[in-house]
Amino acid sequence: MLPPILEVYVVWHPEDREGEQIAAWLLEHFRGVPYSGLVGGAVEVYARSIPWTQDSDAPRPLPCQVPLPYGLPHARVTAIVPILGVRLARALAQDSSDWRDYLDSLHTAVEDGEETIRAFPVRLQSTVDSTYYGEIGNLQALHPASCEDPAVLCRELSQAVAQLVGDPFGERLRVFISHTKRHAVEEQPDYVDELVGRVRNTIAHTHLQAFFDAADLQPGTDWEEELRSNAGSSALLAIRTDLYASREWCQREFLIAKRASMPIVTLNGLYRTEERGSFLMDHVPAVGYRQANDGSRQASVEEALNLLVDAALARALWGFQRETLEVLGVSWTPLHAPEPVTLLPWLLENRQRAIEEGPLLIMHPDPPLGPEEAKALIELLEVAGVQDVIDVVTPRTYMSRTTR
């Protein structure tokens, strides 16, 4: 267990019943696959609703309001999700209620506290005027659909937190759209253009920022350097159509992002056949582009973008854990399990150190490599002559050794 990284607090009046459902959605989401590979305790979701004491109707204070006992550390990042509903507004209008003092205290903690404490309100559809909620009500709320669509809620909050962390994405999460402009003979002439256009249009209706080379490269810029820079500092969405894997620049963009430990998701939009794949482009999450009808096509794009946002936040959280793991003696903490295209550059730089100072420990998020994958990696280490001085583990496999 490392110090907590992200804590999400969902705060709602107990009679605003939607708050319980929203809290359940977020709890299920942050316990899901994208975050399961981090060291235990990286993400926690807490509810604040029922009264904490007999003489007050307000819930238990957050650590940013009242410090934890015994000097326990608070989370590196705190995301507060106040649910603004009618029942909360009614409580705030009553002099006998402590909810106004509670929300004012939360707002003070956000305003006067660290930069990594933020509130992201959700306004229920029946919400009254925002002035009823004090200063909390004046904060920019999550997308209106967040109160009824768990996918929108989780994407909006995950993106906001990833941007709050900042590095390497800055103030707005940027999606690098990697695609080929070429069409295979078997593809319809406008198939690739329509697919890429759908992705761009979907991003335009979110808070994400797209980087699309044809539109975003300014005249007079070094286009090759711009592509390299953006591929190595953005979340990469690879639109894998029939010719994608064979195109030189698609391979290059993918490899740059992979070696920079950028989050990558493949939208698998093969129209008919792929002449050949590419070993550079495997080992990343993929979403199938379901073409049955317009609704399924749109849902596929949204699913890929949602998965990419989660991958971006998981990368940011792993970056916090990486700091502690390296202090504890872990030599390399890649975002993804090592593979030849990522392990080879590291070996070129660290092989001699491993021989002279070994053993060196490599730790990546769970899940662990499969037996055949691990065998292939060991063979590569044998060729390099360092199979006995380099150990590849995940948090769970490492802990299973130390607790035997």
Q: How far apart are CA 2 and CA 326, in angstroms?
A: 12
* CA dist list (Å): 165 to 114, 146, 258, 314: 12, 21, 21, 11
- pLDDT at 217 (0 to 100): 43
Q: How far apart are CA 243 and CA 180, in angstroms?
A: 7
108: left (phi over 0), alpha (psi -120 to 50) or beta: alpha
Spatial strand order in the sheet of 235-240: 209-211, 174-178, 235-240, 264-268, 286-288
Secondary structure of residue 168 in the 3-state scheme: coil
Secondary structure of residue 10 in the 3-state scheme: strand
**Most distant CA pair in the chain: distance in Å?**
75
* Residue 201, beta-bridge partner list: none
Secondary structure of residue 178 in the 3-state scheme: strand
Q: How far apart are CA 208 and CA 309, in angstroms?
A: 9
Give the closest residue to 61 by CA, choosing from 104, 14, 116.
104
Secondary structure of residue 402 in the 3-state scheme: helix
Secondary structure of residue 45 in the 3-state scheme: strand
Give the torsion sign (CA, 144, 149, 152, 155): positive
Q: How far apart are CA 2 and CA 325, in angstroms?
A: 9
Cβ–Cβ < 8 Å for 244, 275:
no
| Structure token pair of residue 99 | 């909810």
DSSP labels for 354-403? HHHH--EEEE-PSSPPPHHHHHHHHHHHHHHT-TTTEEEE-HHHHHHHHT
Residue 294 has a CB neighbour count (10 Å cut-off) of 9
Residue 153 has a CB neighbour count (10 Å cut-off) of 22
Mean pLDDT by 10 residues, the chain (404 residues): 84 95 96 88 92 94 86 85 94 92 92 84 84 85 93 94 72 85 74 92 89 49 68 89 90 92 94 87 93 94 95 90 88 92 94 91 92 94 93 88 60
- What DSSP state is assigned to residue 300? H
Strands 174-178 and 390-393: unpaired
- pLDDT at 319 (0 to 100): 87
- pLDDT at 53 (0 to 100): 93
| Structure token pair of residue 214 | 């044809």
